[in-house]
Structure 1
Amino acid sequence: MTVFSSADAPFYTLDISRILSRANARVPTGIDRVELEYARYLCQHAPDRLEFAAVHPLRRFAPLPFSKAQAFIRAIGILWDSGAEDGGLAARLGNALLHGILLPRRHNSATEHAAGGRRSVYLLVSHHHLTRPELIATAIRRRNSLFVPMVHDLIPLEFPEYARDREPPRHRRRIETVVRYADAVLVPSDATKRSLFPYFAQAGRKNVPIWPVPLGVHLRATASADSVMVSNHPALQRTHPYFVCLGTIEGRKNHLLLLNLWRRLVEIHEAATPHLIIVGKRGWENEQVIDMLERSPKLKGIVEEHNSLPDTVVASLLRGAKGLLFPSFSEGFGLPLAEALALGTPVICSDIPVFHEIGRKTATYLDPLDGSAWAHAIERLANLSRGNAPPTPIAPLETNQLLTWHQSISRALSHINTLVQKSPTS
């Protein structure tokens, strides 16, 4: 069922501040991907009921020229999907849009006409500038909009030991802004909803809808992963069996478990040890992990680190892997798990509620502190078990276990459409 069949469907102001701030990045983060996919979807399905807006670092909120924003979205999407050299096009377009926010703008009669008498929705699917409630208030006031943000997780508040020192108070301000202004909230999982609801309850706003909508699998990357350009990428030139670990190198992701385990596997299996491919930029609170990556002689040539790989190459790596290893202590969702399962790649992951939501019966769940259990599971998948125990077969995906981005966003906008139908226009 489409959310765009009704004449009463809302007019959207989609905030793309996050991807504009990342215009110079060659590889997207998970939140970057979410904002990009919402922009693509709305460009395709509701261009006549859509405007883009953003916040400048100097704290000015403004709408963006639609055609120029579309061009930027196309350019950054191509860059992040394929990693192909674009001559700096995405960065130039993004920087020009940011600069234009500071310039005086004439009244946009075309946008006003497109909005017509429709109810307006201000949609913010990143955490960008939620620490600045005055900017959120400005965006809402501009069209008397309903405000629907996405809260990806509450990890800095639940596990402050894994965050930078300044991040817990910053995230508390974000949640306070959401609780104060949101007419409804999108979250990627039931686990995140359970974490967020008490903040609304404490503020006396229990009736604000919180909608768990799983994030989509980026099938655009997986579908094109066999191209000649991708297959010739240096990271894919390998014959030795390997496992993949995806995610920023930070304490919460638990890379240390894998590195210590791999050092032990080398001692036991020597040349038969599968390789470990770590894909992700270097984050924070990771000194011991970096020391092991750079200085451990036993891991040299066995463990590889790649800080910046395009989505197509990552998809191909996952396709050829013995398995994805995901030993995080906490996640708001877990896109690598969903993407690996979509490709038919076995997954060994932490035994945490959000991973059960995604993987259901198709993943292997282990205590993120139980190194022995992880070692045995990895040995089984790599056919290194004593007695040659066969790998555990992968259970088939269940109906609606994974969503495409089209399905995910359509579901989210269906919720919003229902909210709009129930809301007065003033």
Structure 2
Amino acid sequence: MRLLIECTYVYDHPGDNSGIQRVVRNIVNNLHAVKTDVPCIPVILKNDKVYGVSNLGPSKSSISNLQSWLSHQHGRLSRLRHRVWQYKSRRERRWPYQNSPLLRFFLSVFCRSFSLALALPQKVLAQISLRYVDKARASEMEYRPGDVLVLLDSSWHADFFPLAERLKAEGVDIVSVIYDLIPLTHPQFCDDGLVRVFEHWFDWIARTADGFIAISKTISDQVRQEAQWRLGRDVAAERWFDYFHLGSELDLINEKAVVRHEVRSMFKGRSVYLMVSTVEPRKNHVYLLNAFDKLWAEGVDVSLCIVGKIGWKCEKLIERIRQHKELNRHLFMFNDLSDRELEYCYRNARSLVFPSYVEGFGLPLVEAMQRGLPVMASDIPVFREIGDDAMAYFGLSEPESLCRLVRRFESTGQFPSAAPFTDWSWLSWKDSANQLIERVVQHTRQSRSEAGPVVASHAAVGRP
């Protein structure tokens, strides 16, 4: 048995550093330290072939740099198309469009035409950039019956489904890592295109995978229920379900990097509450701003800093922040912090505040607490799983619930959690990688012992 750890998206986009990319990179970079007798090989699936990855980071070759540049342009076009629809959403609520169906129709036609005009070069760039494989970073390899393909990366946008099905038909087990089911359970928080793509992907992976390993017990239970609903209880019982927890180190910290003056100065003489996440509806920044507006109206001397890139369906919120009278006085927003600057914020803030409606895990919570920063979070099951009694929880029905925690912390100096947060501890990325590999191996061996030996038509399949 060998574990083939799929990391295609991160290989193609080595500069991306959001939640899933951070997980994939850290798991892959810690595979060498995993305590197992089973070889663990990072792989990518491209051009209907399997490639073993020797370097997940960016390449220094000129051709690879060109590929990265083309991939970056592909991403820019994607973001530009997204901004076109943000512009439409913004404009149609204002004069003269809001009172004129005809003007809104012409605005919609213009935006749709512009978006379609961008779609063609975006597809061409995808074909050119995403099919290229840098031989200095990856080389074609054979796969064998008995191997296990672990889909660690975000595969719902991938085009390797036929290859994965061929591997399965030839004796390779498939295990899917599930980060969350939010596009299925809470589609109102997602882009319509993502909901359709994710629905199609989960239907495929539910039928194809031999096992599922989620990033929390909360999500694992949801995956089991969703599989039972789609496949029936008897068919779902043929799959295995488990979970592992994520690590917490910030792996891209450059200790020599400079923390900007505006970041440092924000903390001088201020009690700063920190929110770290992409700005999008399910993260519930509106609730957070409402709570701090209430505190500021009462004269409570606290500050709020929002850290994270701007996402989707948040035009009104961003406009509200940029026009806020407390901006750069008690309200701050940074959309481009480096890991070094984020680390500085974790070390100097008063508390992390995280009012999310729904999460698969909540990586900023463990990043914060590992650095001695206490956390106030919405009272949802996955946060209870992570924080137990070491976090302070607030309800989402009214901002006053969070306001009470902040007032108490500011007036007493005692963090309002049920248990001391200093007693809390968490996994490293090395521990997380060990946990993932150990559970995949254990379930695979158990499943195979119950089912009998692997049968396939070829002793080794792949490059001749």
Q: TM-score, normalised by structure 2?
A: 0.73
Q: Quick check: 1:308 aligned with 2:336?
A: yes
**Structure 2 contact 279–312 (Cα < 8 Å) conserved:** yes
Amino acid at match of 2:329: G
Distance 2:280 2:322 in 1: 16
Aligned with 2:199: secondary structure?
Answer: helix
**Aligned counterpart, 1:412:** 436
Give CA deviations for 1:92-120 in whole Å, capped at 9, x if unaligned: 57579985845899xx99944xx7x7831
Report whether the alignment pairs 1:211 with 2:202: no
Relative to structure 1, is the Cα distance of residues 186 and 323 closer, same or farther in structure 2, using a 3 angstrom cutoff? Answer: same
Q: Work out the CA distance in 1 between the residues paired with 2:134 and 2:301.
A: 62
Determine the C-alpha separation between the residues in 1 that align with 2:372 and 2:63: 35
Aligned-pair CA distance for 1:135: 4.3
Letter in 2 for 1:38: I
Give the Cα–Cα distance (whole angstroms) in 2 for the partners of residues 332 and 316 of structure 1: 26
Alignment of 1:10-409 (within 5 A): 10-25=1-16, 28-43=17-32, 49-55=40-46, 60-64=47-51, 66=52, 69-71=53-55, 73-75=56-58, 99=129, 101=131, 111-112=141-142, 119-129=146-156, 133-141=161-169, 144-202=171-229, 203=231, 204-218=235-249, 220=251, 227-231=255-259, 234-237=262-265, 238-239=267-268, 240-269=270-299, 273-381=301-409, 383=410, 385=411, 390-392=414-416, 395-396=420-421, 402-409=426-433
Q: Deviations over 1:286-325 (max 9, x none)?
A: 1221111111223453211111222232122111110000
SS class of match (1:361): helix
Q: Equivalents in 2 of 1:333, 1:244: separation in Å?
A: 18
User: 1:279: Cα distance to partner?
Assistant: 0.8
> Structure 2, unaligned stretches of length 5 or more?
72-127, 456-464
| Distance of 1:104 and 1:256 partners within structure 2 | 44
Distance (Å, rounded) in 2 between the aligned partners of 1:357 and 1:276? 26
Distance 1:325 1:276 in 2: 9
How many angstroms apart in 2 are the aligned matches of 1:62 and 1:146? 16
Provide closer, same or farther for how the CA distance between residues 372 and 402 of structure 1 changes in structure 2, counting only shifts above 3 A.
same
Deviations 1:34-89, CA, capped at 9 Å, x for gaps = 1112221235558965252134xxxx33333x5xx433x2449xxxxxxxxx9999
Displacement after TM superposition at 1:158 (Å) = 1.1
CA contact (8 A) 2:376 2:394 kept: yes
Quote the Cα distance in structure 2 between the aligned partners of 1:199 and 1:406.
30
| Distance change (3 Å), C-alpha of 1:48 and 1:371 | closer
Contact 1:121 1:148 in 2 (8 A): yes
In the superposition, relative to structure 1, how do residues 297 and 61 fare at CA in structure 2: closer, same or farther (>3 Å)? farther
Q: Which residue is 2:454 aligned to?
A: 425
Residue 183 of structure 1 deviates from its aligned partner by 1.0
Contact kept in structure 1, 2:151 and 2:175, CA below 8 Å: yes
Of 280-289 and 260-269, deviating more is: 260-269
Measure, in 2, the Cα distance between the counterparts of 1:219 and 1:194: 28
SS of the residue aligned with 1:166?
Answer: helix
CA distance in 2, matches of 1:328, 1:337: 11
Q: What SS class does the counterpart of residue 150 from structure 1 fall into?
A: strand
Inter-partner Cα distance in structure 2 for 1:233 and 1:138: 54
2:344 and 2:61 mapped to 1: Cα distance?
A: 25
Amino acid at match of 2:50: P
Counterpart code for 1:167: L
Cα pair distance change 1:304/1:201, threshold 3 Å: same
Tell me how far 1:329 sits from its aligned partner: 0.5
Aligned length: 382
Letter in 2 for 1:295: Q
Query: Highest CA radius of gyration, 1 or 2?
Result: 2
Query: Residues 104, 346 of structure 1: CA spacing in aligned structure 2 closer, same or farther, 3 A cutoff?
Result: closer
Query: Residues 153-174 of structure 1, C-alpha deviation per residue, up to 9 Å, x if partnerless?
Result: 1111111111112232322212
TM-score normalised according to structure 1 size:
0.79
